[in-house]
């Protein structure tokens, strides 16, 4: 058997199709290049969905076919097809290929019948369980150790071989991408190889840049919990955790509280916001319970404000009023 990679070109609109075709003998190939029709004795021009439609519409005599490769090594032919018919090629408007080359049936973009259609929870669960159990890599995504040409068909085999023992899959994949970046292993697919290198560099940039990392984590947390009320159990655990931290860090806690509670601008803003508001009976009862048995912090003190800056603070009732200050929160 001989295995060929060919290109079929539509002479009307110049759209192209690259495919794989096997022949029994070299005599089954009529020409290395044909002006019209197929270069194969069996008249083969392609079997993809879009190329078949084109053949029905324009006819075989409006097609030109070129021979790209002929070999007795099937793997060599499939490898070349996978490199030529990659994601970029299938997404082009001037091609008829809708699936990746190289003995796989992976459709990308709008060509995929599942494009834009989410899997059901049951289907997704089964797919994830199978992938987790087997850990297989698609044949077009297999990995190769550069020095020995050893081939890996499972990610788990790669992890075991290179002693990658990270618990999180994300960290495992990052270690794998590091090996790709350093030239220890490579993807057979140049497309996936480039993605691995790019992902490794992006991850390192993210880890090394604290402001970007904090911003992303804050955004993720905000989106996750926005509008979601915390459960009583969650509030209880959070309160317990905060109490433990306060016990261990009393001085740090005092600093934080002073920064919040003694900020004149914050005090004024809070006072202005709540002045004139009526508390509900439930709020009054809660305040009463929380203050029960506690000494009032403002006992024997009065609020005063700065006439020029409107800053607010408390002083002892017996203390003399500073120059430029008046009693109260703000001018009446």
The pLDDT score that the predictor gives to residue 140 is 44
| Helical segments of the chain, H only | 49-58, 74-84, 87-91, 121-134, 155-161, 169-181, 190-208, 210-225, 232-248, 250-261, 264-274, 281-291
The pLDDT score that the predictor gives to residue 330 is 62
Domain boundaries along the sequence of the chain: 2-111, 121-208, 296-332
**Residues of the chain with confidence (pLDDT) below 70:** 31-33, 35-36, 102-121, 123-141, 191, 206-208, 212-213, 216-217, 220-221, 223-225, 227-228, 293-298, 329-332
Residue 53 tokens, joined: 């439609």
The pLDDT score that the predictor gives to residue 101 is 80
The pLDDT score that the predictor gives to residue 139 is 44
The pLDDT score that the predictor gives to residue 103 is 63
Average pLDDT, the chain: 79
Residue 277 tokens, joined: 């508001």
Say if residues 100 and 86 touch (Cβ distance below 8 Å): yes
Instruction: Give me the residues paired with residue 327 across strands.
Output: 304
Say if residues 3 and 71 touch (Cβ distance below 8 Å): yes
| Phi and psi based region of residue 287 (left: phi greater than 0; alpha: psi -120 to 50; beta: remaining) | alpha
pLDDT digit string (tens) for 268-303? 777 777 777 777 888 878 877 777 766 666 677 888
The pLDDT score that the predictor gives to residue 98 is 85
The pLDDT score that the predictor gives to residue 329 is 66
Distances (CA, A) of 306 to 126, 258, 309, 326, 328: 69, 20, 5, 6, 10
Query: Beta strands 301-306 and 185-187: pairing type?
Result: unpaired
Q: Which fold has domain 2-111?
A: GIY-YIG endonuclease (3.40.1440)
The pLDDT score that the predictor gives to residue 16 is 95
């Amino acid at each position: 058997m001989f295995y060929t990679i060919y290109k079929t070109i539509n002479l009307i609109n110049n759209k192209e199709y690259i495919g794989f075709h096997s022949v029994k003998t070299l005599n089954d190939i009529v020409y290395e290049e044909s002006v019209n029709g197929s270069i194969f004795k069996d008249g083969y021009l392609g079997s993809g969905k879009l190329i078949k439609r084109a053949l029905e519409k324009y006819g075989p005599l409006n097609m030109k076919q070129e021979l790209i490769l002929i070999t007795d090594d099937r793997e060599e032919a499939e490898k070349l097809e996978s490199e030529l018919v990659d994601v970029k090629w299938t997404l082009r408007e001037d091609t008829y290929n809708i699936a990746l080359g190289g003995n796989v049936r992976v459709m990308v973009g709008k060509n995929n019948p599942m494009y834009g259609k989410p899997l059901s929870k049951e289907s997704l669960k089964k797919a994830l369980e199978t992938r987790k159990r087997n850990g297989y890599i698609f044949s077009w995504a297999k990995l190769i150790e550069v020095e020995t040409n050893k081939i890996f068909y499972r990610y788990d085999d790669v992890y075991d071989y290179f002693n990658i023992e990270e618990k999180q899959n994300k960290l495992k994949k990052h270690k794998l991408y590091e090996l790709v970046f350093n030239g220890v292993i490579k993807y057979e697919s140049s497309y996936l190889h480039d993605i691995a290198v790019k992902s490794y560099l992006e991850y390192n940039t993210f880890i090394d840049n604290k402001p970007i990392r904090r911003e992303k984590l804050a955004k993720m947390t905000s989106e996750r919990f926005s509008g979601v009320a915390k459960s009583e159990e969650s509030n209880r655990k959070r309160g317990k955790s905060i109490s433990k931290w306060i016990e261990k860090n009393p001085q740090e806690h005092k600093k934080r509280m002073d920064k919040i509670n003694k900020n004149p601008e914050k005090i004024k803003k809070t006072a202005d916001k709540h002045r004139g508001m009526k508390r509900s009976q439930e709020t009054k009862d809660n305040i009463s319970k929380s203050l029960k048995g506690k000494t009032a912090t403002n006992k024997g003190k009065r609020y005063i404000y700065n006439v020029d800056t409107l800053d607010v603070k408390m002083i002892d009732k017996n203390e003399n009023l500073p120059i430029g200050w008046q009693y109260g929160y703000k001018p009446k």
